[in-house]
Amino acid sequence: MRSILQLRVPQIAGDEDQLRGLKIETTAASSPSVVRFRDPQIEMAHGAGGKASRRLVEGLFAPLLYPASRKPLSDAAHLEVGGARIAFTTDSFVVKPLHFPGGSIGELAVNGTMNDLAVSGAKGIAMTVTFVLEEGLPTADLEAEVRAMSGALKRAGVVMAGGDTKVVERGKADGMYITTAGIGTPLPGVKVDARSVRPGDKILLSGPIGDHGITILLARGELDFEADLYSDTRSVLPLVEALAAECGPGIHWMRDPTRGGVATALNELARDSGLGIELLEEEIPMHDAVRGACELLGLDPLHIANEGQFLAVVSPEYAAIALNSLQQTAGGEEARIVGQVRVEPANAVLVITRYGGSRIVDMLVGDPLPRIC
Amino acid sequence: MQYVDEFRDPELITKASEEIRRLADPRRHYRIMEVCGGHTHAIYRFGLKDILPSNIDLIHGPGCPVCVLPMGRIDDGLAIAKDPNTIFAAFGDMMRVPGAHGSPLEHKARGTDVRIVYSPADALELARKFPEKEVIFFAIGFETTAPSTALTLMSAKAEGIHNFSVFCNHVTIVPAIRAILDSPDMRLDGFIGPGHVSTVIGCRPYEWIARNEGKPVVTSGFEPLDLLQSIIMLLRQLQAGEAKVENQYKRVVPWEGNRAALKAMAEVFELRPYFEWRGLGFISQSALRIREKYVAWDAEQRYSVPETRVTDPKSAQCGEVLKGVLKPAQCKLFGKECTPEHPIGALMVSSEGSCAAYYNYEYRKSLVTRISSVA
């Protein structure tokens, strides 16, 4: 699971002392449709970030764990603790292989957690980590990951506040799993919420899509082709900060389109806002190697996972300045305005093709599976 | 990207679409069947319907191997793979296809060792890698994929790999087209011929459609310009009152097909007397089985197969949609009980099935009152 719900805990009996001074942000209630989780067993799809994941979160986790929450799914919760505002998130990393071109699980664990905070409008300050290690894992591999984490922490200016280690029997953890939690402080003047999104708002994408997902697919060595591709894992905070500095109040929503890709993130936005998203296919930046791999495998690049990119919805008067601020920041040169928010088709994402045709693009169903012909 | 971008050039596509408008007689209604699921997928993916005149109706044909596979075959394959010593290997397309007792992915979650492979050769590689296991490759596909299954079986025999077998579900396209043409409620004007299948069988096997049925066939590629050009070629024939087989996909499809591939198929496979197709029923001589000399690698012979038969719910009107009598959304179950996540009918099963393609790419577009580009 990538993110938790925006958390609202109005009353927690028995833990009052511990929670004294903890005031949770209250929000106006909307009326989301009731989702029931009736799947008989857990399948890989429930962790793939698409429809099944959402069904699990909304149909099982949310009603029991966050019953008071009325806010849409988000990347991090914003809380008030003893008068101070903090952002809070958690994440797990189960990538295979542990190392891949452009990054590794350790680097991903730091960047991914900090990015969840960044796109919720917060700058990460500290994190914790739990390692689940598999019996037999070479120490050199573990050390490499810890070094990768250390480098990413330094670059992000984040403190590791604590950690935990568990070891499981051989064959039970693909080498290692990493779970993190992160806290951050809100960026001044930034408030992101799908319900602030309005028709006419512009959709920005920070750079080319699909690099991470296709790199991992190829790094598994199951396909007989190679491409000059690197994971885009990185901290998006510098880009988010640049955006916030130039057009803080104009930013209505942000999301890093990780598992499930751009299509899933924007479908969630469409659903949470009740509006329609119109994407211009030719404006979506993408490397040729990603496009080629997707063509060969019959995958939709809009469903492929990213790590170091984010989507932002800004009000139209800020669109040009927002694009400029991203493009002027290192790593944001390929940012584009890729579409806009419309009244219709309500709750859906519409893609306009290069020749003026159109198609609906839905959330990912399960994992992306290659076609045979 | 070479071989792709030149077939997606917006200027050429606009020109082609103008040519189609010029050729299409406004007093006439054209019903053209694209046989291949890949075409259906491309038509929706590129939004081609939006740039065609409204009197050209594209009917989605039977050419999606996943869609036309009867549910009972999936149950049979998974039943013999239940043994903990077995690895069930199949293409990604198959993974979410439901049998009566669940899809391969659901069986995986229950403990069956299910692996996604990208080719039959990868399944054979699993057999080499795990000599203590029995690897069953669940083979599906038309003539497009059958040759690689044949070559893999030839390799298994040559190398003496005995922990590998194939559960063969390969089907052939021509009898399916014949079944559709034989249907009394069928009113088609022409066919966009299956490009991938034709890389193997060539164009000659469609000549009877033009000769006996008087319907033009144009074998087509999968890019937007390929499909538009094929429609132009069909309209030209129809305007001239002709019916012949033409090859639009010459850069890939040889008229006589691929001899080596056909030879490999003939070595390993023979026609089954009959085979059940989802949505179309039993069609004679429409599928392949493994020849006697490869019996040691034929999963149907090696294992006790339950021979499950599962009929689709009567309310699923797949047959009518396949023949173009109904549009996907006109089926009683469409978008209600039957969705891509929980497919009931054949055509909702794979992304290349006409109902799934319509659901994924078109459904909800009816809500759009205004489509214009970003200002």
Q: What percent of chain B has pLDDT over 70?
A: 97
Residues B353 and B333 in one domain: yes
| B55 three-state secondary structure | coil
Helix boundaries (H) for chain B: 10-23, 37-45, 71-80, 104-110, 120-129, 146-159, 173-182, 195-201, 207-213, 224-240, 259-268, 299-302, 318-322, 354-361
Q: What is the CATH number of the domain that holds B29?
A: 3.40.50.11750
Residues B253 and B289 in one domain: yes
Taking an 8 Å cut-off on Cβ atoms, the answer to whether A359 and B46 are in contact is: yes
The dihedral built from the CA positions of residue A331, A332, A338 and A344, taken in this order, carries a sign that is: positive
Instruction: For residues A266-277, give the mean pLDDT.
Output: 95
Residue B366: the pLDDT is: 60
User: Is the minimum CB–CB distance between B65 and chain A shorter than 8 Å?
Assistant: yes
User: Is the minimum CB–CB distance between B297 and chain A shorter than 8 Å?
Assistant: no
Instruction: Report d(CA A324, CA A182) in Å as an integer.
Output: 30
User: Is the minimum CB–CB distance between B259 and chain A shorter than 8 Å?
Assistant: no
> In terms of residue numbers, what domain contains B23?
1-312
Q: For residue B105, which residues of chain A lie inside 8 Å, CB to CB?
A: 43-45, 366
Radius of gyration of chain B (CA): 21
pLDDT tier for residue A250 given thresholds of 50, 70 and 90 = very high
Residues B23 and B161 in one domain: yes
* B6-28 per-position pLDDT tens digit: 888 889 999 999 999 999 999 99
Taking an 8 Å cut-off on Cβ atoms, the answer to whether B10 and A355 are in contact is: yes
Question: Residue B93 corresponds to which tokens in the numbers above?
Answer: 């397309």
Chain A from 183 to 212: CB within 8 A of any B CB? 202
Taking an 8 Å cut-off on Cβ atoms, the answer to whether A348 and B341 are in contact is: no
Please determine, for residue B38, whether its predicted confidence score (pLDDT) is greater than 80: yes
Identity of the amino acid at A7 = L
Residues B139 and B159 in one domain: yes
Taking an 8 Å cut-off on Cβ atoms, the answer to whether A359 and B44 are in contact is: yes
Taking an 8 Å cut-off on Cβ atoms, the answer to whether B51 and A356 are in contact is: yes
Residues shown for chain B: 375
Residues B336 and B212 in one domain: no
Residues B333 and B201 in one domain: no
Residues B220 and B198 in one domain: yes
Mention every residue, 6+ apart, whose C-beta is less than 8 A from residue B6: B225
Q: Which chain B residue's Cα is nearest to A345?
A: B368
Taking an 8 Å cut-off on Cβ atoms, the answer to whether B92 and A352 are in contact is: no
Please name the helix (run of DSSP H) or strand (run of DSSP E) that holds residue A257, with its range, or none.
none
Taking an 8 Å cut-off on Cβ atoms, the answer to whether B44 and A339 are in contact is: no
Residues B328 and B249 in one domain: no
Q: Are B140 and B69 in contact (CB under 8 A)?
A: yes
Structural domain tally of chain B?
2
Please determine, for residue A210, whether its predicted confidence score (pLDDT) is greater than 60: yes
Residues B328 and B295 in one domain: no
- Closest alpha carbon to B148 in B115, B121, B173, B116: B121
Q: For residue A298, which residues of chain B lie inside 8 Å, CB to CB?
A: 41, 351
Residues B200 and B321 in one domain: no
- Closest alpha carbon to A270 in A221, A341, A205: A341
Taking an 8 Å cut-off on Cβ atoms, the answer to whether B360 and A360 are in contact is: yes
- Closest alpha carbon to B115 in B106, B105, B101: B105
Please determine, for residue B244, whether its predicted confidence score (pLDDT) is greater than 70: yes
- Closest alpha carbon to A204 in A245, A268, A253: A253
- Closest alpha carbon to B62 in B145, B176, B175, B143: B176
* B87-125 per-position pLDDT tens digit: 999 998 899 888 999 999 999 999 999 999 999 999 999
Please determine, for residue A331, whether its predicted confidence score (pLDDT) is greater than 70: yes
Residues B68 and B102 in one domain: yes
Q: For residue B341, which residues of chain A lie inside 8 Å, CB to CB?
A: 51-52, 365
Instruction: Report d(CA A332, CA A206) in Å as an integer.
Output: 6
Neighbours of A227 (CB within 10 A): 18
Please name the helix (run of DSSP H) or strand (run of DSSP E) that holds residue A146, with its range, or none.
helix A139-156
Please determine, for residue A290, whether its predicted confidence score (pLDDT) is greater than 80: yes
Residues B326 and B296 in one domain: no
- Closest alpha carbon to B276 in B340, B337, B319: B319
Instruction: Report d(CA A125, CA A127) in Å as an integer.
Output: 7
